Amino acid sequence: MHKVPEEVEILTVREYLGDKFPVRIYRIYHDGSRLEHSHEFMEIAIVVCGHAIHFTEGQEDSLSMGDVLVVPPGRIHAYREVKKLGLVHVLFLREAVFGSSTLLEGIPGFTELFGSEKSPKTGPFRRLLHLPAPDLDQALGYILKIEEETCTCDPGFEALVSAYLTELAVFLSRRFWHSQPHVTSAFSRIEGTVKYLQEHFAEPIELNELARDAHMSVNNLLRIFREATGYSPMQYLIRLRVLKAAELLREKHLSVSEAAYASGFFDPCYFSKRFSQLMGLSPKRYRSQWREAR
């Protein structure tokens, strides 16, 4: 591993992973640049909302919802031009989770993302992977399982955390292997609509207005949006609102009604129904579990 310049912040295992099993999940909302830094551990960073430019070693990539970065130890990187960027960070020590990973390294795409046991640092960095909405949901589902186990620390939690993180790594490796080098033409046609929804999800939004702004008929917008994301525009909007409400219930001392209103829901019953469908728990129960875990 090359020497990191003294002016670059180094995130340490002791500070970010602690002295227990070396896997941690951090959900962070950025609205300002993140200065150059590196870390002693491996990181999977998944963009759940917002936009930014990711810089690393002379390369840069535009990031938006569904983008995934796998950052190896020692890699210097930074986020700039940040606009309401929501990231889920999975931090871990590769050797503790994957161990002797001969079988994993035989999976197409694994070494491109996670390196090899002898050389965990991957090759030239780029935006490694973009997940459409259904795949993003699945990836976040693995992460939620990891969070639950690391919060409870029940006997055997280390084995389950390793298993869930390995599942996530295999899932991402497969998606990487089958991915195309560029965003599909369908996504490029509705990219402006997606960005608008991500930035204005808490406001009243009408399908007819989205179609007009995209210079499409409603039927064309529905067809192309579903082809690119796996959801209709309004289904996608509801997902954004529920994920924001979940974040507020975790991070802020808000009532369920306050979190619903701040996320764009104005009917508490409808909010509770949609939240339960996506998160698997009622908003009240979800908030209680997180508070109990703390």
Hey, what amino acid is at 203? E
In a domain, 105, yes or no: yes
Phi and psi at residue 18, to the nearest 5°: 75, -165
Quick one: 120 and 226 in the same domain? no
The model's pLDDT over 215-248, given as tens digits with 9 standing for 90+, comes to 999 999 998 888 777 789 999 899 899 989 988 9
Overall number of domains in the chain: 2
d(CA 172, CA 166): 10
Which residue among 139, 156, 175 closes a domain?
175
d(CA 178, CA 108): 9
Quick one: 53 and 170 in the same domain? yes
pTM: 0.61
In a domain, 2, yes or no: no
The model's pLDDT over 142-195, given as tens digits with 9 standing for 90+, comes to 999 999 998 888 899 999 999 999 999 999 988 887 774 443 566 678 888 988
CATH of the domain at 192: 1.10.10.60
* 98 vs 208: which has the higher pLDDT: 208
Evaluate if residue 293 carries a pLDDT over 60. Answer: no
The model's pLDDT over 248-277, given as tens digits with 9 standing for 90+, comes to 998 888 899 999 999 999 999 999 999 998
Evaluate if residue 102 carries a pLDDT over 70. Answer: no
DSSP, collapsed to helix, strand or coil, labels residue 209 as: helix
The model's pLDDT over 73-85, given as tens digits with 9 standing for 90+, comes to 888 888 988 988 9
Which residue among 145, 175, 205 closes a domain?
175
In a domain, 209, yes or no: yes
Quick one: 54 and 171 in the same domain? yes
What angle in degrees, to the nearest 10, is found between the helix axes of 283-293 and 268-279? 60
DSSP letter at 2 equals P
Domain range enclosing 263: 185-293
Three-state SS for 230-282 is CCCHHHHHHHHHHHHHHHHHHHCCCCHHHHHHHCCCCCHHHHHHHHHHHHCCC
Looking at the chain, the whole-number percentage of residues with pLDDT higher than 70 is 88
Contacts 24+ apart (CB under 8 A), 133-141: 133/66, 133/229, 133/230, 133/231, 133/236, 133/239, 134/230, 135/66, 135/171, 135/175, 136/46, 136/48, 136/65, 136/66, 137/239, 138/171, 139/46, 139/68, 139/168, 139/171, 139/172, 140/46, 140/48, 140/88
Using alpha carbons only, give the angle 50, 53, 57 rounded to the nearest 5 degrees: 145
- Give the per-residue pLDDT at 119: 59
CATH of the domain at 35: 2.60.120.280
Quick one: 123 and 63 in the same domain? yes
- Give the per-residue pLDDT at 182: 40
